[in-house]
Amino acid sequence: MAVITNIDDLKRIYRRRVPKMFYDYAESGSWTEQTFRENSSDFSQIYLRQRIAKDMSNRTLATQMVGHDVSMPVALAPVGLTGMQSADGEIKAARAAEKAGVPFTLSTMSVCSIEEVARKTTRPFWFQVYTLKDDDFMRRLIARAKKAGCSALVITVDLQVLGQRHKDVRNGLSTPPKLTPKSILDLSTKWRWGLEMLGTRNRFFGNIVGHADGVSDPGSLASWTAEAFDPALDWTRIRHLMDMWDGGPVILKGILDVEDAKAAVAVGADAIVVSNHGGRQLDGALSSIRALRPIVDAVGDKIEVHFDGGIRSGQDVLKAMALGAKGTYIGRAWTYGLGAMGQKGVTAALEVIRKELDVSMALCGRRDIHEVDRDILLVPEDFEGRWAAN
Ligand SMILES: Cc1cc2nc3c(=O)[nH]c(=O)nc-3n(C[C@H](O)[C@H](O)[C@H](O)COP(=O)(O)O)c2cc1C
Protein backbone atom coordinates (compact mmCIF):
# COMPACT_ATOMS: atom_id res chain seq x y z
CA MET A 1 0.00 0.00 0.00
CA ALA A 2 1.25 3.49 -0.88
CA VAL A 3 2.68 5.62 1.90
CA ILE A 4 0.57 8.75 2.35
CA THR A 5 2.36 11.63 4.03
CA ASN A 6 0.33 14.56 2.75
CA ILE A 7 -2.56 15.59 0.49
CA ASP A 8 -0.28 15.82 -2.55
CA ASP A 9 0.51 12.11 -2.26
CA LEU A 10 -3.20 11.39 -2.62
CA LYS A 11 -3.46 13.75 -5.57
CA ARG A 12 -0.71 11.92 -7.45
CA ILE A 13 -2.43 8.56 -7.05
CA TYR A 14 -5.79 10.13 -7.89
CA ARG A 15 -4.43 11.44 -11.16
CA ARG A 16 -3.24 7.97 -12.17
CA ARG A 17 -6.47 6.18 -11.31
CA VAL A 18 -9.36 8.39 -12.45
CA PRO A 19 -10.31 9.22 -16.05
CA LYS A 20 -8.79 12.51 -17.18
CA MET A 21 -12.19 14.12 -17.70
CA PHE A 22 -13.04 13.79 -13.99
CA TYR A 23 -9.57 14.68 -12.74
CA ASP A 24 -9.72 17.83 -14.85
CA TYR A 25 -13.23 18.59 -13.58
CA ALA A 26 -11.92 18.76 -10.01
CA GLU A 27 -8.52 20.22 -10.72
CA SER A 28 -9.67 23.36 -12.44
CA GLY A 29 -10.89 26.85 -11.80
CA SER A 30 -12.76 29.23 -14.04
CA TRP A 31 -11.09 31.08 -16.93
CA THR A 32 -7.43 31.89 -16.11
CA GLU A 33 -7.67 30.02 -12.77
CA GLN A 34 -6.10 32.96 -10.91
CA THR A 35 -8.52 32.73 -7.98
CA PHE A 36 -8.23 28.93 -7.91
CA ARG A 37 -4.43 29.22 -7.62
CA GLU A 38 -4.42 32.08 -5.12
CA ASN A 39 -6.90 30.31 -2.83
CA SER A 40 -4.02 27.99 -1.96
CA SER A 41 -0.95 30.14 -2.54
CA ASP A 42 -2.19 33.06 -0.38
CA PHE A 43 -2.03 30.82 2.69
CA SER A 44 1.75 30.84 2.39
CA GLN A 45 1.85 34.62 2.93
CA ILE A 46 0.62 34.08 6.49
CA TYR A 47 3.19 32.78 8.98
CA LEU A 48 2.73 30.87 12.22
CA ARG A 49 4.49 31.95 15.43
CA GLN A 50 6.61 29.16 16.86
CA ARG A 51 6.40 29.06 20.67
CA ILE A 52 8.31 26.88 23.11
CA ALA A 53 8.20 25.79 26.73
CA LYS A 54 4.39 25.81 26.75
CA ASP A 55 2.43 22.84 28.01
CA MET A 56 1.50 20.95 24.83
CA SER A 57 0.02 17.85 26.45
CA ASN A 58 -3.63 16.74 26.36
CA ARG A 59 -4.64 18.54 23.23
CA THR A 60 -8.12 18.70 21.72
CA LEU A 61 -9.50 19.73 18.35
CA ALA A 62 -13.12 18.97 19.26
CA THR A 63 -15.59 21.80 18.80
CA GLN A 64 -19.02 22.52 17.28
CA MET A 65 -20.19 23.69 13.88
CA VAL A 66 -23.76 25.08 13.86
CA GLY A 67 -24.34 23.35 17.18
CA HIS A 68 -23.20 19.94 15.94
CA ASP A 69 -20.30 18.23 17.71
CA VAL A 70 -17.29 17.75 15.44
CA SER A 71 -14.03 15.99 16.27
CA MET A 72 -12.19 18.77 14.44
CA PRO A 73 -13.44 21.89 12.64
CA VAL A 74 -13.19 20.36 9.16
CA ALA A 75 -16.31 19.37 7.20
CA LEU A 76 -16.47 17.76 3.76
CA ALA A 77 -17.67 20.44 1.33
CA PRO A 78 -20.35 19.59 -1.22
CA VAL A 79 -18.65 18.35 -4.37
CA GLY A 80 -20.71 17.44 -7.42
CA LEU A 81 -20.19 14.25 -9.39
CA THR A 82 -18.10 12.46 -6.76
CA GLY A 83 -19.82 9.22 -7.71
CA MET A 84 -17.81 9.54 -10.93
CA GLN A 85 -14.49 9.95 -9.09
CA SER A 86 -15.08 6.56 -7.51
CA ALA A 87 -18.10 4.22 -7.77
CA ASP A 88 -20.67 5.17 -5.08
CA GLY A 89 -18.26 7.95 -4.09
CA GLU A 90 -20.77 9.91 -2.03
CA ILE A 91 -21.51 6.86 0.14
CA LYS A 92 -17.82 6.16 0.65
CA ALA A 93 -17.12 9.78 1.62
CA ALA A 94 -20.11 9.98 3.95
CA ARG A 95 -18.94 6.83 5.71
CA ALA A 96 -15.40 8.16 6.07
CA ALA A 97 -16.77 11.42 7.52
CA GLU A 98 -18.99 9.48 9.89
CA LYS A 99 -16.02 7.48 11.19
CA ALA A 100 -13.92 10.62 11.55
CA GLY A 101 -16.67 12.49 13.42
CA VAL A 102 -16.92 15.34 10.94
CA PRO A 103 -19.87 16.54 8.81
CA PHE A 104 -20.39 15.33 5.26
CA THR A 105 -22.25 17.65 2.91
CA LEU A 106 -24.05 15.98 0.02
CA SER A 107 -24.27 18.05 -3.16
CA THR A 108 -27.45 18.50 -5.19
CA MET A 109 -25.31 17.38 -8.13
CA SER A 110 -24.30 14.10 -6.52
CA VAL A 111 -24.46 10.80 -8.36
CA CYS A 112 -25.90 8.81 -5.43
CA SER A 113 -29.27 10.18 -4.34
CA ILE A 114 -30.05 11.61 -0.90
CA GLU A 115 -32.09 8.51 -0.08
CA GLU A 116 -29.35 6.12 -1.17
CA VAL A 117 -26.71 7.88 0.94
CA ALA A 118 -29.10 7.94 3.92
CA ARG A 119 -29.75 4.20 3.54
CA LYS A 120 -26.06 3.37 3.49
CA THR A 121 -24.98 5.55 6.44
CA THR A 122 -25.92 5.69 10.10
CA ARG A 123 -25.52 9.35 11.01
CA PRO A 124 -27.29 12.42 9.60
CA PHE A 125 -25.39 14.35 6.94
CA TRP A 126 -25.85 17.90 5.65
CA PHE A 127 -27.47 18.62 2.30
CA GLN A 128 -26.51 21.34 -0.16
CA VAL A 129 -28.95 22.94 -2.58
CA TYR A 130 -28.40 25.20 -5.51
CA THR A 131 -30.77 28.12 -5.99
CA LEU A 132 -32.88 26.83 -8.87
CA LYS A 133 -35.83 28.56 -10.47
CA ASP A 134 -38.29 25.68 -10.20
CA ASP A 135 -40.11 26.21 -6.90
CA ASP A 136 -41.83 22.82 -6.93
CA PHE A 137 -38.56 21.01 -7.54
CA MET A 138 -36.85 22.96 -4.76
CA ARG A 139 -39.69 22.21 -2.36
CA ARG A 140 -39.59 18.50 -3.17
CA LEU A 141 -35.78 18.37 -2.98
CA ILE A 142 -35.68 20.07 0.41
CA ALA A 143 -38.53 17.86 1.69
CA ARG A 144 -36.58 14.76 0.54
CA ALA A 145 -33.52 15.96 2.47
CA LYS A 146 -35.64 16.47 5.58
CA LYS A 147 -37.25 13.06 5.21
CA ALA A 148 -33.84 11.43 4.80
CA GLY A 149 -32.83 12.92 8.14
CA CYS A 150 -30.37 15.56 6.91
CA SER A 151 -29.47 17.80 9.83
CA ALA A 152 -28.46 21.08 8.17
CA LEU A 153 -29.23 22.79 4.87
CA VAL A 154 -26.43 24.47 2.95
CA ILE A 155 -27.73 26.90 0.33
CA THR A 156 -25.09 27.75 -2.25
CA VAL A 157 -25.57 31.39 -3.19
CA ASP A 158 -22.66 32.00 -5.56
CA LEU A 159 -23.91 30.12 -8.60
CA GLN A 160 -26.69 32.09 -10.27
CA VAL A 161 -24.81 31.87 -13.54
CA LEU A 162 -21.98 29.48 -14.30
CA GLY A 163 -18.29 30.42 -14.60
CA GLN A 164 -16.59 28.66 -17.51
CA ARG A 165 -13.95 26.01 -16.93
CA HIS A 166 -12.10 25.55 -20.19
CA LYS A 167 -11.06 21.97 -19.47
CA ASP A 168 -14.66 20.80 -19.06
CA VAL A 169 -15.58 22.37 -22.39
CA ARG A 170 -12.62 20.73 -24.13
CA ASN A 171 -13.25 17.35 -22.49
CA GLY A 172 -16.98 17.42 -23.25
CA LEU A 173 -17.57 16.48 -19.58
CA SER A 174 -20.56 14.18 -19.16
CA THR A 175 -22.00 11.68 -16.69
CA PRO A 176 -21.41 8.87 -17.52
CA PRO A 177 -18.51 9.70 -19.86
CA LYS A 178 -19.29 9.77 -23.56
CA LEU A 179 -17.34 7.20 -25.50
CA THR A 180 -15.08 8.87 -28.01
CA PRO A 181 -11.82 7.40 -29.32
CA LYS A 182 -9.93 9.71 -26.91
CA SER A 183 -12.00 8.80 -23.84
CA ILE A 184 -11.87 5.06 -24.68
CA LEU A 185 -8.09 5.27 -24.83
CA ASP A 186 -8.02 7.05 -21.48
CA LEU A 187 -10.51 4.65 -19.88
CA SER A 188 -8.50 1.64 -21.03
CA THR A 189 -5.71 2.72 -18.66
CA LYS A 190 -8.15 3.24 -15.75
CA TRP A 191 -9.33 -0.37 -15.48
CA ARG A 192 -9.74 -0.37 -11.69
CA TRP A 193 -12.06 2.65 -11.91
CA GLY A 194 -13.99 1.02 -14.75
CA LEU A 195 -14.46 -2.32 -12.99
CA GLU A 196 -15.82 -0.63 -9.88
CA MET A 197 -18.11 1.52 -11.96
CA LEU A 198 -19.56 -1.57 -13.66
CA GLY A 199 -20.52 -2.82 -10.21
CA THR A 200 -22.89 0.02 -9.36
CA ARG A 201 -26.11 1.35 -10.82
CA ASN A 202 -25.36 4.86 -9.57
CA ARG A 203 -24.07 6.53 -12.72
CA PHE A 204 -26.38 9.51 -13.23
CA PHE A 205 -27.38 12.55 -11.19
CA GLY A 206 -29.44 10.68 -8.60
CA ASN A 207 -31.15 13.72 -7.09
CA ILE A 208 -32.37 14.99 -10.42
CA VAL A 209 -32.98 12.29 -13.02
CA GLY A 210 -36.54 11.08 -12.51
CA HIS A 211 -37.28 13.87 -10.00
CA ALA A 212 -37.21 17.07 -12.06
CA ASP A 213 -39.98 17.59 -14.62
CA GLY A 214 -38.79 16.78 -18.11
CA VAL A 215 -35.65 15.01 -16.90
CA SER A 216 -36.49 11.34 -17.01
CA ASP A 217 -33.45 10.38 -19.02
CA PRO A 218 -29.90 11.59 -18.50
CA GLY A 219 -29.72 12.87 -22.06
CA SER A 220 -32.06 15.75 -21.24
CA LEU A 221 -30.07 16.71 -18.16
CA ALA A 222 -27.60 19.07 -19.80
CA SER A 223 -30.30 21.32 -21.18
CA TRP A 224 -32.21 21.18 -17.88
CA THR A 225 -29.12 22.26 -15.91
CA ALA A 226 -28.42 25.17 -18.22
CA GLU A 227 -32.00 26.38 -17.74
CA ALA A 228 -32.39 25.52 -14.08
CA PHE A 229 -30.25 28.04 -12.18
CA ASP A 230 -31.97 31.25 -11.17
CA PRO A 231 -30.17 34.32 -12.52
CA ALA A 232 -32.76 36.54 -10.82
CA LEU A 233 -31.99 35.29 -7.30
CA ASP A 234 -32.32 37.99 -4.61
CA TRP A 235 -32.47 38.08 -0.80
CA THR A 236 -36.26 37.69 -0.77
CA ARG A 237 -35.90 34.51 -2.79
CA ILE A 238 -33.12 33.28 -0.48
CA ARG A 239 -35.42 33.84 2.51
CA HIS A 240 -38.18 31.98 0.65
CA LEU A 241 -35.86 29.00 0.11
CA MET A 242 -34.78 29.10 3.76
CA ASP A 243 -38.46 28.96 4.77
CA MET A 244 -38.88 25.69 2.87
CA TRP A 245 -36.58 24.06 5.45
CA ASP A 246 -37.38 23.49 9.09
CA GLY A 247 -34.92 20.68 9.75
CA GLY A 248 -32.14 22.54 11.57
CA PRO A 249 -29.57 25.20 10.82
CA VAL A 250 -29.29 26.99 7.46
CA ILE A 251 -25.83 27.79 6.12
CA LEU A 252 -25.37 30.23 3.22
CA LYS A 253 -22.34 29.21 1.20
CA GLY A 254 -20.42 31.45 -1.19
CA ILE A 255 -20.03 34.84 0.51
CA LEU A 256 -16.92 36.88 -0.21
CA ASP A 257 -18.00 40.44 0.51
CA VAL A 258 -18.70 42.23 3.80
CA GLU A 259 -21.92 43.76 2.45
CA ASP A 260 -23.25 40.32 1.48
CA ALA A 261 -22.23 38.93 4.87
CA LYS A 262 -24.29 41.66 6.56
CA ALA A 263 -27.25 40.81 4.33
CA ALA A 264 -26.89 37.13 5.33
CA VAL A 265 -27.16 38.20 8.98
CA ALA A 266 -30.24 40.28 8.17
CA VAL A 267 -31.93 37.39 6.34
CA GLY A 268 -31.52 35.24 9.47
CA ALA A 269 -29.06 32.54 8.37
CA ASP A 270 -27.35 30.52 11.10
CA ALA A 271 -23.94 30.50 9.40
CA ILE A 272 -22.16 31.65 6.28
CA VAL A 273 -19.31 30.05 4.39
CA VAL A 274 -16.72 32.54 3.17
CA SER A 275 -16.09 30.92 -0.19
CA ASN A 276 -15.56 31.61 -3.88
CA HIS A 277 -16.61 28.09 -4.90
CA GLY A 278 -13.02 26.91 -4.96
CA GLY A 279 -12.14 29.49 -7.64
CA ARG A 280 -14.68 28.00 -10.02
CA GLN A 281 -16.96 31.01 -10.39
CA LEU A 282 -15.64 34.63 -10.51
CA ASP A 283 -12.06 34.43 -11.71
CA GLY A 284 -10.19 37.50 -10.47
CA ALA A 285 -12.06 37.52 -7.14
CA LEU A 286 -10.00 37.62 -3.94
CA SER A 287 -8.85 34.34 -2.48
CA SER A 288 -11.12 33.18 0.34
CA ILE A 289 -8.37 33.52 2.95
CA ARG A 290 -7.86 37.18 2.08
CA ALA A 291 -11.62 37.82 2.32
CA LEU A 292 -12.00 36.09 5.69
CA ARG A 293 -10.78 38.56 8.32
CA PRO A 294 -12.83 41.61 7.21
CA ILE A 295 -15.96 39.44 7.19
CA VAL A 296 -15.22 38.02 10.65
CA ASP A 297 -14.63 41.56 11.94
CA ALA A 298 -17.91 42.79 10.46
CA VAL A 299 -20.30 39.98 11.41
CA GLY A 300 -18.40 37.39 13.47
CA ASP A 301 -20.29 38.31 16.65
CA LYS A 302 -23.69 37.96 14.95
CA ILE A 303 -23.37 34.82 12.82
CA GLU A 304 -21.14 31.76 12.68
CA VAL A 305 -18.50 32.32 10.00
CA HIS A 306 -17.20 29.23 8.22
CA PHE A 307 -14.48 29.09 5.59
CA ASP A 308 -13.46 27.16 2.49
CA GLY A 309 -11.10 27.51 -0.45
CA GLY A 310 -7.58 26.28 -1.02
CA ILE A 311 -7.16 24.17 2.13
CA ARG A 312 -4.60 21.45 1.45
CA SER A 313 -3.18 20.98 4.94
CA GLY A 314 -3.89 21.20 8.65
CA GLN A 315 -1.71 24.31 8.77
CA ASP A 316 -4.17 25.97 6.36
CA VAL A 317 -7.06 25.01 8.65
CA LEU A 318 -5.15 26.43 11.62
CA LYS A 319 -4.63 29.76 9.84
CA ALA A 320 -8.31 30.06 8.90
CA MET A 321 -9.37 29.23 12.46
CA ALA A 322 -6.87 31.74 13.86
CA LEU A 323 -8.32 34.45 11.62
CA GLY A 324 -11.71 33.81 13.21
CA ALA A 325 -13.47 31.03 11.29
CA LYS A 326 -15.58 28.74 13.48
CA GLY A 327 -15.22 25.86 11.07
CA THR A 328 -13.74 24.98 7.69
CA TYR A 329 -14.55 22.75 4.71
CA ILE A 330 -12.32 20.87 2.33
CA GLY A 331 -13.40 20.20 -1.26
CA ARG A 332 -10.60 18.98 -3.50
CA ALA A 333 -8.55 17.52 -0.63
CA TRP A 334 -11.16 14.83 0.06
CA THR A 335 -11.92 14.38 -3.63
CA TYR A 336 -8.27 13.49 -4.27
CA GLY A 337 -8.46 10.94 -1.47
CA LEU A 338 -11.66 9.45 -2.85
CA GLY A 339 -10.32 9.11 -6.38
CA ALA A 340 -7.04 7.69 -5.11
CA MET A 341 -8.30 5.03 -2.68
CA GLY A 342 -12.08 5.27 -2.20
CA GLN A 343 -13.32 5.45 1.40
CA LYS A 344 -9.83 4.72 2.74
CA GLY A 345 -8.49 7.66 0.77
CA VAL A 346 -11.05 10.07 2.25
CA THR A 347 -10.12 8.75 5.69
CA ALA A 348 -6.45 9.27 4.83
CA ALA A 349 -7.10 12.87 3.73
CA LEU A 350 -8.91 13.61 7.00
CA GLU A 351 -6.21 11.94 9.08
CA VAL A 352 -3.41 13.86 7.32
CA ILE A 353 -5.19 17.13 7.99
CA ARG A 354 -6.05 16.19 11.58
CA LYS A 355 -2.45 15.35 12.41
CA GLU A 356 -1.04 18.46 10.76
CA LEU A 357 -3.59 20.64 12.54
CA ASP A 358 -2.96 19.03 15.91
CA VAL A 359 0.84 19.16 15.81
CA SER A 360 0.99 22.65 14.30
CA MET A 361 -1.43 23.94 16.96
CA ALA A 362 0.84 22.47 19.62
CA LEU A 363 3.96 24.01 18.09
CA CYS A 364 2.19 27.37 18.27
CA GLY A 365 1.80 26.74 21.99
CA ARG A 366 -1.93 25.96 22.08
CA ARG A 367 -3.68 22.87 23.39
CA ASP A 368 -7.30 23.50 22.53
CA ILE A 369 -8.70 24.63 19.18
CA HIS A 370 -10.79 27.18 21.10
CA GLU A 371 -7.57 28.86 22.28
CA VAL A 372 -6.40 29.43 18.71
CA ASP A 373 -6.58 33.14 17.89
CA ARG A 374 -4.81 35.78 15.81
CA ASP A 375 -1.98 35.89 18.30
CA ILE A 376 -0.49 32.74 16.75
CA LEU A 377 -0.20 34.40 13.33
CA LEU A 378 2.06 36.82 11.56
CA VAL A 379 -0.07 38.39 8.84
CA PRO A 380 1.42 40.94 6.41
CA GLU A 381 -0.02 44.39 7.08
CA ASP A 382 -1.53 44.67 3.64
CA PHE A 383 -2.69 41.05 3.41
CA GLU A 384 -6.31 42.05 2.77
CA GLY A 385 -5.13 44.68 0.28
CA ARG A 386 -5.20 48.46 0.33
CA TRP A 387 -7.36 49.30 -2.61
CA ALA A 388 -7.86 52.63 -4.34
CA ALA A 389 -11.10 54.37 -3.35
CA ASN A 390 -13.80 54.05 -5.99
C1 LIG B 1 -15.14 19.23 -8.41
C2 LIG B 1 -15.88 20.20 -7.58
C3 LIG B 1 -17.27 20.15 -7.56
C4 LIG B 1 -17.97 21.05 -6.75
N5 LIG B 1 -19.34 20.96 -6.67
C6 LIG B 1 -20.01 21.75 -5.81
C7 LIG B 1 -21.40 21.58 -5.63
O8 LIG B 1 -22.03 20.71 -6.22
N9 LIG B 1 -22.03 22.43 -4.79
C10 LIG B 1 -21.36 23.43 -4.10
O11 LIG B 1 -21.96 24.18 -3.35
N12 LIG B 1 -20.03 23.58 -4.25
C13 LIG B 1 -19.35 22.77 -5.06
N14 LIG B 1 -18.00 22.89 -5.17
C15 LIG B 1 -17.29 23.88 -4.33
C16 LIG B 1 -16.89 23.24 -2.99
O17 LIG B 1 -18.02 23.01 -2.19
C18 LIG B 1 -15.94 24.14 -2.19
O19 LIG B 1 -16.50 25.42 -2.09
C20 LIG B 1 -14.55 24.23 -2.82
O21 LIG B 1 -14.17 22.98 -3.35
C22 LIG B 1 -13.54 24.65 -1.76
O23 LIG B 1 -12.28 24.78 -2.30
P24 LIG B 1 -11.15 23.62 -2.26
O25 LIG B 1 -11.53 22.62 -3.27
O26 LIG B 1 -9.91 24.36 -2.61
O27 LIG B 1 -11.15 23.06 -0.86
C28 LIG B 1 -17.28 22.02 -5.97
C29 LIG B 1 -15.88 22.05 -6.01
C30 LIG B 1 -15.18 21.14 -6.80
C31 LIG B 1 -13.68 21.18 -6.78
Q: What is the pLDDT of residues 74-121, one digit of tens each?
A: 999 999 999 999 999 999 999 999 999 999 999 999 999 999 999 999
d(CA 222, CA 141): 19
Say what the pTM is.
0.97
- Report pLDDT for 219: 58
Query: HSE (CB half, 13 Å, CA atoms) of 168?
Result: 17
d(CA 202, CA 376): 46
User: What is the CA(335)–ligand 1 centre distance, in A?
Assistant: 10
Q: What is the pLDDT of residues 298-311, one digit of tens each?
A: 999 999 999 999 99
- Report pLDDT for 172: 83
Closest C-alpha residue for ligand 1 atom 21 = 331
Number of the ligand 1 atom closest to the C-alpha atom of 36:
26
> Which of 211, 277, 306, 370 does the annotation list as catalytic?
277
- Report pLDDT for 221: 66
Number of the ligand 1 atom closest to the C-alpha atom of 156:
11
Pairing of strands 327-330, 377-378: unpaired
Q: Which helix (H) or strand (E) holds 293?
A: helix 288-299
Q: Is 277 assigned a catalytic role?
A: yes
Residues with CB under 6 A from ligand 1: 25-26, 39, 77-80, 107, 109, 128, 156, 253, 275, 277-278, 280, 308-311, 330-333
d(CA 250, CA 324): 20
User: What is the CA(280)–ligand 1 centre distance, in A?
Assistant: 8
Closest C-alpha residue for ligand 1 atom 29 = 79
Q: What is the pLDDT of residues 365-377, one digit of tens each?
A: 999 999 999 999 9
User: What is the CA(363)–ligand 1 centre distance, in A?
Assistant: 31
Closest C-alpha residue for ligand 1 atom 3 = 79
* Amino acid at position 250, single letter: V
Best substitution site from 22, 253, 277 to test ligand 1's pocket, by max atoms within 8 Å of Cβ?
277
User: What is the CA(365)–ligand 1 centre distance, in A?
Assistant: 33
pLDDT band at 229 (very low <50, low <70, confident <90, very high): very high
* Amino acid at position 264, single letter: A
Contact 108, 141 (CB under 8 A): yes
How much is the mean pLDDT over the chain? 95
What's the start-to-end Cα distance of the chain, in Å? 56
Contact 221, 192 (CB under 8 A): no
- Report pLDDT for 183: 84
